[in-house]
Each structure stands twice: as structure tokens, then as C-alpha cells.
Chains A and B, each alone.
Chain A
Amino acid sequence: MVHFTAEEKAAITSLWGKVNVEDAGGEALGRLLVVYPWTQRFFDSFGNLSSTSAIMGNPKVKSHGKKVLTSFGDAIKNLDNLKGTFAKLSELHCDKLHVDPENFKLLGNVLVIILASHFGKEFTPDVQAVWQKLVAGVATALGHKYH
């Protein structure tokens, strides 16, 4: 199980406090669909994903992105129990959504890249390392109930 030190937790929460979850969520999901187009397979009902601008401007992408990142915010409030926090969502992603857990890693890394672009110099290698640990922990937790 992934363990975060007090300093790591502080680094995570202080950065997260400055993130606009709605904007970042839409951006993260949008970039996932642009950079890794095969991930569009889960979003047939989202309408127009025919170009980069269509994807980034798509209201369903933005709203779903916000949902996903809001949930990510729950992880941050429960860093000592990621598996428990995401147990139900893990079952959902396996049994109902049929999402390959590899996609959680892709989205996690896109999120890290977005944080880097928003925070620039502040997103030092140390800070990035903590966030890589977090996105890996979330990805593992979301894959934990797969069978």
C-alpha cells in the first residue's frame, strides 16, 4: 500500500488548493482523448470528437472531466486509504464501464503534465515525484477490484 509522509501530504494539498478542478478536469480528459485517441472508445455518446478543438470544446468532455477530477480530489482527502476510497469506483470501472486500468495510468500522467504547465517552476522534480506517487496510487486503487 502506498504511504505518504506528512511533507508529501502537505505538498499535495497545498498544490491542489490552487487547482481549478473544473478547468483542469476538462483539460485533462480532453488531452487524454487528443493525445491517445484510442481512449475515445469509451465515449461514443459524447458527440463530436472529430478534431482537437472539437474535443477540447466539447461540453460533455468538460463536464465528465470535472466529475473525474472531483473524484480525484476525494483521493487527496483520503491519502491513507486510497483502496477503500475507490473500492466502489473500481468495481464500477470493471463491471459496468469495462475500462482497461492502463487508462488510469495514461490519465494520471496527463494530469501531471497539466500541473507542470500550470505551475511551471513550482512543479519541481521533488513535487512531481510526490504527484507521480499519488497518480500511481490512485490508478492502483481503481484497478484493485478488477476480476
Chain B
Amino acid sequence: MAGSFKLEGRWRTQKEPTMVLSAADKSNIKAAWDKIGSHGGEYGAEALERTFMCFPTTKTYFPHFDLSHGSAQVKAHGKKVADALTLAVGHLDDLPNALSALSDLHAYKLRVDPVNFKLLSHCLLVTLASHHPAEFTPAVHASLDKFLSSVSTVLTSKYR
């Protein structure tokens, strides 16, 4: 395959940057987000519900929330999460700047242990896969996983 070579036991693409989003990743992410359209808040809430149900330790960050199915607080929070990700999608070339305020919030106020970002990210992928299986190809899956991982890294970047 043109542009691919094996180096140190792993297949690589020529001029492939490190865990920075490639042009193909950005294109996949934007297309996926367009497909989500106005369902962002709904999916955000569903991802949160999945996270709380599958990984009960995550509930420790929300003692002040009603976490029952259909909770208005979870719906509102899901929308917040979705809006932040939409912001991120619009600034894929400059996530640290775009997410700077949220990064401060998580570092100094919320202090959510970094392990939890992986749990929510996983549940976001599960949510998207369940609603848009046709679009959720292996390549798109990979791009979205990288995207959520990049966002998580930025949000925990000021922790210490």
C-alpha cells in the first residue's frame, strides 16, 4: 500500500503525526458530528446514564444529582457535555485553547480522577454505535476514540 511501511514492528503511514488528529480523523469526526445533528444533548444524557449504570463509582461525583432514569439534571448535564464536545469539534486544530476554561474547571474545581474520562468516552462511543451503526465504521470508531482521548487529555492537562 503506497505510503505505508513497517517500522519497529508496526505498520505506519508516511508523514503520520503522533497522537495528533490526522486530516482523515478530522474529516471523520466532523462527519460523525454532523450526523448527530440535534441529538447531541440526548446522546450526552444517554452516555451519562450508561456511565453511571455500568461504572457505579462514577456516581460519586454526582451526590447532588437525581440519577434515576429520565432525570432532568442528567438531561441538562448531558447537553452540557454535548455542547462542549461540539465546541471541541469546531476547534480540532486548537483543542488546548478552545477547552482552556473547561480544563481549568476540571483541574481546580471538579478534580475528576482521570480514569473516569475513559469510562465516559467509552459510553459515548457505545451510544453513538447503537444509534448510528452504519456510520460507525472501524475507521470512524478509531477517529472518534482518538478525538475523545485528545479531549480527555486536554481536560486533565492542568491537574498537576
Contact = CB atoms under 8 A, between A and B. Distances in A.
A143 interface: no
A132 B53 CA distance: 10
Contact of A50 (B9, B11, B49, B122): B11
Interface stretch (B29-37, B90-98, B133-141): B133-141
Contacts, number: 76
Interface string B39-63: 0000000100110011100000000
A50 B4 contact: yes
Given A38-B10, A40-B10, A117 B53 contact: no
Contacts of A109: 122
Is the contact region of chain A dominated by helix, strand, or loop, or is it mixed? helix
A15 B4 CA distance: 39
Given A37-B10, A113-B129, A120-B133, A125 B138 contact: no
Interface residues of A, number: 33
Contacts of B131: 120
Contact of B142 (A52, A118, A120, A129): A52
The size class of the interface chain B forms with chain A is 20 to 34
Contact of A125 (B4, B53, B122, B141): B53
Interface in A30-45: 30-31, 34-35, 37-38, 40-41, 44
B141 A121 contact: no
B130 A117 contact: yes
Interface of B: 1, 4, 6, 9-11, 46, 49-50, 53-55, 122-123, 125-127, 129-131, 133, 136, 138-139, 141-142, 145
Interface of A: 30-31, 34-35, 37-38, 40-41, 44, 48-52, 54-56, 109, 112-114, 116-121, 123, 125-126, 128-129, 132
